[in-house]
Structure formats: structure tokens, C-alpha cells
Amino acid sequence: MYDNPLNGEAMIKTVHAVRIVLGIFLFLNGMNMWLGILPISSPRSGPAFELMNGLVLSGLFEYVKIIEIVTGLLFIFNIFVPLALAVMAPLVFVIAFTDFILLGTPNAIAFGVAMVLLWGIPMWAYLPYFFGLFRMKAQPECVSFDDIASAVTSKQKPG
């Protein structure tokens, strides 16, 4: 197979620290919509403004914030981390696209890089949990509720 550079003790601790920082950031960012605890700088015009305005007016922005809160808590408490990473993937893409392409300011780019790294480091470390998704010729299997319960409660590594 291959050697995972994140298998060392120091790297595992780093991944856990990054996961917790990401969780705290997502939780606070999500809660910020209702509590106003962090300063918000919204785009004032252009495509980024239109995107944000569309999300807010459609009501979708509230769901984005709920997803941030829930995934943040999952990261903080180290439960269902692969699921939280998968759920966050589209949001990280939109954040990166907005910061790198639509805004393109140094501050936005720095935030985008930070967000991609905070998500990407744990994603790389938990990547083995996603290997089954890359089967070109997968066959359907019938599973029981016991199989699902066993998978949810298992601490066994994928493989």
C-alpha cells in the first residue's frame, strides 16, 4: 500500500488539534448569526454580494449556519468526523471559491487558505474512511439494522 505521513504520534496530535480548532471556528461562526459574537464583513457589491444576498433572501443561509454548528460540535467532540468532513466539503468549496475568485482580496485569500487547510488536514487523515466511495464497479449489498448499528458503534479502522 502506501505510508501515510500522518501516522506519526506528533501528526496524529496535530490532526486532533486542527480538528478541534476547526470545530470551534465552525461552531462560533454558525452561532454568530444569532448571537453576533464575531465581527462580520459582508461584501458590499459584485458577485460575492449577490451570492450572499441570494443565500440570505432564500433562507438557505440559516441552514448553512446550522450545518456549521452541527459539524463544529461533531469535530469538537470527535464523533462522526468522516461524516462531518463530507458534509462540510461543499461549504468549504463555496467558501474557497468566494474568497479566491469572487473576492480575491488578500484578507479573503488568507481566510480561504486557512479554511481549506483546517478542513484539508483532517480530511487527508480520515481519507481511508472514504476509500469505499472510489470503487468503479461497486455491487449493491443488503444490510441489516444490526450491520448499521455495528458500523456506527465500531472503533475499528476502515480497511
DSSP assignment of 16-50, as one string?
HHHHHHHHHHHHHHHHHHHH--S------SHHHHH
For the chain, give the percent of residues with pLDDT over 90. 58
Res 120: pLDDT:
97
Q: What is the average pLDDT value for the chain, to the nearest integer?
A: 89
Does residue 155 have a pLDDT over 90?
A: no
Integer-rounded Cα Rg, in Å, for the chain is: 18
Cell numbers for 113: 487558505
Domain extent listing, the chain: 9-153
Report the C-alpha gap between 127 and 159 in whole angstroms.
Answer: 11
